[in-house]
Amino acid sequence: MQQARAIPGDSGWPLVGHSFNYLFDFENFTRKRFARYGEVVRFNAFGMEFVALLGPEANQLVLQNRDDLFSNASWEKMIGPFFRRGLMLLDGDEHRLHRRVMQVAFTNAALREDLDGINRTLDESLAAWPSGDGIKVFDLLKSMTLDVASRVFLGQPAGKDSEAMNRAFLATVQAATGVIRHDLPFTRWRAGLRGRQLLERSFAAALPAHRGGSGNDLFTRLCAARTEDGQPFSDEDVINHLVFLLMAAHDTSTITLSNLLYQLAKHPQWQERLRDQSLALGRTQLEYEDLERLADMDHAMKETLRLTPPVPGLPRQATRDFEYAGYRIPKGTLISISLWMTHRLERYWKEPERFDPDRFAPGRAEDRQHPFLWLPFGGGAHKCIGMHFGAMEVKAALHQLLLRFRWSVPSGYTLPQDWTSLPIPADRLPLRLERLG
């Protein structure tokens, strides 16, 4: 029997490992790491040692998770104090139970209903957007998507505390990549804990009204939901799911829209192509049936998600020893799969660094070469429960933006990504916005 090879890689600097490489040089660090060591490599970051696996076959192994070979305990280590018992952190039968109960909020019927609230919120928000040079669009988008999430998930506008909630959500996400992982002054960890406390207080105060409510918002649906044996979610679980879902809903949509607007500013021919198709619909707001009609918009969104997946990697933990690609990986190992790098593998993607939405068109369909090649929403049992909601929101927002504005960036401008949490524009994406009509 052939002896398993030692896993290549290095632990980086004492104590901090590769934390700073990941935070401040993510793209180069990721490319160089795999180029030097291959598609199985160990590294240390944020006080934890990982084995990173690259490629669609690795993605399939981890995300299909046959025989429960992997657990989500790694998420618990990274974000447990801030998103405890969120759907992404649950495993096995408990995960399946909670996901099945929550799925009622993301059926086609529910999404049809949600689209009306999304459209009204987008209309109100975009009517107040300024025009001119240097408009920091990321901040406007983040406020707008929180308004959407508040109306659809909580049944109310974001209100006067929306800025505090935005800061709280950002703090909880950034805490995951804190180098100092203790409740100490001036640390991300402490800011994340304080943000979590603010969100808990806000939702706990609103919970009694939703327990007996009759609304169609997610908050009320979670309060009314019952397990197969007739038991409701506890107050704690309702709040846990709300914190996680609101973060996921508005952060990922903001990242996708920011990068999509950037790409359409850099490639004005695509912006005009999508605008012409939106104009051809003859209506200011998308209807549910329109979502499948705007093929070019769908391809542009998919290409943006390929280039900048909102969650660039997914961690898991091995529940027992296993072998992969000739390497023996022991029980308890923290595993990381790189979605960002998989989306750039030259053997699958033609000119992978180029923005080319037509790569998703039926004649090419580069993403169809492997079922785990393009996966910005993850895959397997933990595939993002809100993926269709998120895509619907992005398309509805882009449609209204195309009809209201033309936008551009100076020649030679390149968006600087801030990788210290999820990828966000370091400069808040300053655009020139020209109002149309």
CA angle in degrees (0–180, nearest 5) for 227-101-159: 120
Residue of 66, 63, 64, 91 lying closest to 76 (CA atoms): 91
- Residue 418 tokens read as 């801030």
Whole-number Cα distances in Å, 58 to 54, 76, 291: 6, 22, 32
Cβ-contact 186, 54 below 8 angstroms: no
**2 CB contacts (<8 Å, ≥6 apart)?**
326
Cβ-contact 341, 37 below 8 angstroms: no
Handedness of CA 72, 91, 221, 240 (dihedral sign): negative
The β-bridge relationship of strands 417-418 and 424-425 is antiparallel
Helix, strand, coil tally for the chain in percent (to 5): 55, 15, 35
Cβ-contact 22, 177 below 8 angstroms: yes
- Residue 249 tokens read as 């809903």
Distance CA 342, CA 75 (A): 21
CA angle in degrees (0–180, nearest 5) for 153-155-156: 115
384 assigned ligand-binding residue: yes
Residue 103 neighbours by CB distance under 10 Å: 12
Q: How many helices (H) and strands (E) does the chain have?
A: 15, 12
Residue of 7, 71, 69 lying closest to 320 (CA atoms): 69
Distance CA 50, CA 48 (A): 6
Q: Kindly provide the residue ranges of all beta strands, DSSP E only, lying in 98-142, ordered along the sequence.
A: 132-136
Whole-number Cα distances in Å, 266 to 58, 259, 263, 269, 270: 33, 11, 5, 9, 9
Sheet holding 48-53, edge to edge: 40-45, 48-53, 334-338, 313-318, 70-71
Residue 186 neighbours by CB distance under 10 Å: 7
- The annotated binding site is made up of 384
- The annotated binding site for heme is made up of 384
